[in-house]
Structure 1
Amino acid sequence: MASHGRAQHLHGRTAETAALRQVTKSIRSGTSHVLVLRGEAGVGKTALLNLLRGEGDGLRCVQVSGVESDMELAYAGLQQLCAPLMDHLEDLAPPQRDALDVAFGRGVGPPPERFLVGLAVLSLLAAAVHDQPLLCVVDDAQWLDQVSLQTLGFVARRLVAEPVAMVFAARTEGAETLAGLPELRVHGLSDADARTLLDQAMIGVVDPNVRDRVVAETRGNPLALLEAPRTYSAAELAGGFGPLSATGSPNRIEESYVRRIQALPDATRQLLLLAAAEPVGDSALFLRAAARLGIAVDALSPAESAGVIEFGPRMRFHHPLIRAAAYRAADLADRRKIHAALAAATDADSDPDRRAWHAANSVAGTDDSVAAELEDSASRAQSRGGIAAAANFLERAAVLTSDPDLRGSRALAAAEAKRDSADSASAYELLTIAELAPLPELQRARAVRLRAQMEFVSSRAGDSGAPRVGETAAGLLEAAKRMEDIDEFASRESYLEAFAALMYAGRLGQPGALVDAADTARTALTRTSDLPRAVDLFFRGVIERVTGGARAGVEHLRTALDAMCQLAEASPGEILRWLVPAFPILQESAAHELWDEDVVDRLSAAIVRQARTAGALAGLPQALVYRAGLHVLLGELSTATTLIAEADSITAATAPNGPVRYYSLVITAWRGDPVAAMRLIDAASSDAEARGEGRLLGLTGYATAVLYNGLSRYEEAFSAAREVCEYEDLGFYSWALHELVDAAAHIGELAAAQRAISHIEERAGASGTPWGLGAMASARALLADNDDADQLFTEALDHLCRSRVMVHQARTHLAYGEWLRRVNRRGDARRHLNVAHEMFTRMGAQAFAERTRRELIAVGDKVRKQPVASGDQLTAQEAQIARLAADGLTNQEIGAQLFISVHTVEWHLRKVFVKLGITSRRSLRTLTWSD
């Protein structure tokens, strides 16, 4: 590497340099840019970041480097990155400002949710670009604490209209949270460039044959090449007479640094270890700790002269690998001594978490006093960094605890916290420790339940080695039984979780397993006749429905869901506990069994609202999908798509292998593109078979039937629907029955259609709701003779027009129009078909719109091209922002609700105004939004 003035020239990095220049070009032009540099240690990522900073004239630059020893301290990396920008803190909305204050230890309060912190950081970056574009550089991202990395990944995915660049450098393995962001792979240099760089690094002459061997062994790794003069002896380089290592791995590079450090005086090595163990680089803390060690700071001079470290207001190693080498070069006793000095030098009032952490690393074996201190620190850490921070302290506390009983309890608490913070690997390890301890009965039951809960989540995510979905119910049932006499409420929750697991297993689970589980749970009901809580009534209703058939449990389910709606609106904070995996599927299925879209609307709206308000990391994606289901029923496919996309973007920042979004299949089927739909359906079917998720397999059959009925491919629709209806998937079984009746009526499978109608009558007939009664009448009409069909279609539309379920209403208009055409009432047919065509077109249900258009042509109607309605030209997110603006929300309120910056809201609204030909927000309120 040669230097020319301020700019650096890097050999063989033409493509990488061009990519980095595009970064600065983008933000200078007012748009954001995100890039992740990936490569092995020493390949030149840090040099490329230095080059990027050198190109940053006129840009404001903030930076942070991950430090391996600091990975457990929540928000440590984020705090360092944001520290230079905190003068803009007052520009943030109060909830965001408070979240950052608590996360960074500047204030006190309840632990901030990570997405609220993420939104606050996004707003902080946006506020900092008023004067000049902002460049955020993150080196060694794989060593950032997980909460900081997830927050930065969240922010990076939401940069749109801000002149902000985020450039990460990470090892080939690690920093998985950044997966999916734009990525540039950094490889070793070509042989020619490697030879040039090696020649420049050599002080003397190197034998050409040896040079070629060094180039080959280093695989073009620039740092290994630059370290060659120190790595190889003069004899080796002069003629190859000494033994050369067979590898040029990053470990060898680090070993060369270790040898350089070991050659320094003992006092110098101690100070280097001190600087390496204190990742913030705080010189004042460094000096206090050095004084406690009795080492004069002048002892650092040899390291400065050797180009290892730079002493200033911040301690800075010249390369991240030197820091790692300084720490690893020391023996364990020296590390403990250094951490003890840092613990003593750290102010317990201003930074209690870091003080406790250094104390934990200073002890050998177990230490109950330090373990107790860590346990106390866990609650403080949670108030700052959330559950992930608490989990790390609890984990370390468990390791340091000598008493077996107490160690088991702490390990269980740590395992639960690790699970909640999405660190399943650590959670499993800690749970194993807890299970081996002599736990009290309640904690033993909690451990059984926790293992089953984690296995359920792993199975739905398709993790390697995870059990099939239905197999996880056994542990949940065991925990429920154990807790019946100890914790009744937790017992019922565990029973409901078991029901959910068995519902997901569906047709791929053990036959009768769900009924058997409900029969077992029924004994818990006999213990008390007083069921005052909504969840108790719900528990009874689910058991009665599962064991008693289609008409059973209706009263208790309706009362329970009404009570849940009232509770959600009166005490919104209580509903977050419903975001565990069991409740959404059970609530939604129960509301569908009751044919009550209003309950789905009220509950899903309340849960999404509360999840957004709290920034609930784990629960918001499923809350959004829950809400998307309501919009599918209302025929608002664009809104449903937007919600699912938002859920996917959140999951990408936390759990890249999240479960299949059920409604994405249904939406694609309604859209009517057979290639896109079947690609998604086939992939979901394979996933379902692999993890034993029979409910998903049933849903793929239902989606296939919807798709083929829309395409008028009735034989294929009938085959798919008949297969779905072989098993009763609560929640959408009745929908599959409708698809079967529609297809069967077109191909003359009247016996099968009649059996399906009898099942619909049994279910919808007991509902008493406009949706249920309308669905029942429309199904009967499809098989009725001409004398009764007209009356049944009219009755169906009378009911459905009092509901908001547009998809069934549109399908009934279509079926009525088809029947009217067959009986040669062309004028009446034309009227209903035109209504259906307009509804399907507005929904974006292309196949059903085309099926309707063919019927219109058959009755002699000239099908007019539908005019573009307000909002149809908009993207899904533009339409969502426009609706919120039309409702009177400010840009800041819209940004907070959608987890995007105010700049992005403004950017989208400018595009909305241009597309709609309007000039003000007031004009938005005059438009009618169909979705």
Structure 2
Amino acid sequence: MRLFGREAECASIDALLEQARAGRSASLVLRGEAGVGKTELLAYAAGTVPGALRIGGVESEADFPYAALHRLLIPLLPGRERLPAGQRAALEVACGLADGPPPDLYLVSLATLTLLAQGLPGQAPQVCLVDDCQWLDRESLRALAFVARRLHAEGVVLLFGLRADGDDPGLLAGVESRQITGLAPPAAAALLTDVVATPVDPALAARIARATGGNPLALTDLAQELTPEQLRGGAALPDPVPVGSRLEAHYAARVAAYPPATRTWLLLAAANTGGTADQLVAAGRVLGAVPADATPAVADRLITGLPAATFRHPLVRSAVYGGATLAERQAAHRALAGQRLRQAIGMTAEQELVWRHPELVAWRSGPGVRESVTAALAVFETLTLGALHGWTRFSLAILDNAESRYSAARDTLCDLVELGRPRRYAGALPDLVEAALRCGDRPTARLALADLTLAAGVCDSTRATGLLERSRALLAGPDEAETHYQRAIEHLAGGLGHGDLARARLLYGEWLRRQRRRRDAREQLATALAMFEEVRAEAFAERTRKELRALGGSVLTPVPKADETALTPQEAAVARLARDGGTNAEIAAHLYLSASTVDYHLRKVYRKLGVRSRRQLRASLHD
């Protein structure tokens, strides 16, 4: 049997066997991960001493008391007649050779020690090899550990193989152990070359050795799964490198038993090559996983350190990634890519919501938001990110409509929408109808309405119909407008478009006020204001308040809720950078804000946190 890179381990085993031939006993636990070569080292010992007693743990028998001990001692049981009566009786019950109450573990252990010391006739030394100890029943392992700790001058060698990545109850404590690690790169490359018939590119062999951590099982499995072209270096390897079917099944089975959120976190960590812990945490939020979800994997020692989540071994990362479905991998990569882009351009969480839901820039707008979003447009243009560039402009046009800047909104939307060919930005047509009509450009409003009519007919949804009716109301005459507004409210009330419905009531209330129907107008506007304030749609809420003030009377300013003392995402980003020593100018450059806006946010942070300086901020703000 040829073992690559195990000269030191084999020498240690040879020394133990030689001591046993001289009458001195020894025991040793070989610890290591799955596939690292423990079984092969035990096989080496078996090949050196014919007649060695050898068993391996069987997972399905782990709940049967003394099952493993019985299998090990079968060849020695004929010699039990020479045991003391108490030991013999306990051992016979343990091995199912006699009836009786559960035997005393101490007596069973002593009987085992005595039998091994007696040995088989003509067998010297007596060698016992016990593999996969993690699957032995507890009673057998305790008895064998008892024996191992008491061997002295019987000429017995007891070698254990224990998987280090499983649960270790510590039953072998006090027995000398040796950690079996992966092969060194030269030995790993030599093994890889030995098991394939195709020449292996030396640089590729070194890379595979690093990727597998020198795990022999992974190397031999992988050698059979790669194509000759890949082995010659003519084709790229996948990343991460596959671990081979046997190890993959081992680790995949462990991962599959975890809760979904734990598996999601592990997959994100596996896909986050070269990424940061912050990006991992942010991507986890997108997919509904947080660092605490990784606790089971940390407890099993598959990963270390949170939130960075470093895999204990490259093979674990490969197995996690390989065990995920294509859709799961794609979702993980999308989430991570989004966070890397967000970090690269200084995007805050609030801004990211804008690109997912463009109306939020108007709903959540505050000092500096328009400025920061506008600054990001130049970044998107430079990076040729057309989709983000377009949706960001759409969001700013909605804000223009909310602030009654109708000409600016019309100009932006006309650049986005190809009138006469409603396609990608058909969702912007209702805003274009409103903006064009309010700035006196009725022809553009009519063209946009015609396109919206076509698009709504294709879409055939209650929301599309509601938006169409709202837009028709804007262009309708006094005798028809109210009917369209009421139809719009009816359709939009049956869906999830909270903002669309609130805006329909706002437009209806504005129309009613101009018709001098003050009571009806107040009813619609008050309802719209409550809806806007409920979701913090401040820009539209302020527009609604102006309409209510025009009706006479006072308009109450909402009292902030207790939880609104929490930092907004933008405030939190500014606070973290300030805490870490950033000047206002540096923070402004990082977040695409002005220094005055940074100062504004810092003052709000100080007030909310009850501090007065950056020094106090460092003591008060924690991630």
Q: Which structure has the larger Rg over C-alpha atoms? A: 2
More helix by share: 1
The alignment's TM-score, normalised by the length of structure 1, stands at: 0.29
The alignment's TM-score, normalised by the length of structure 2, stands at: 0.42
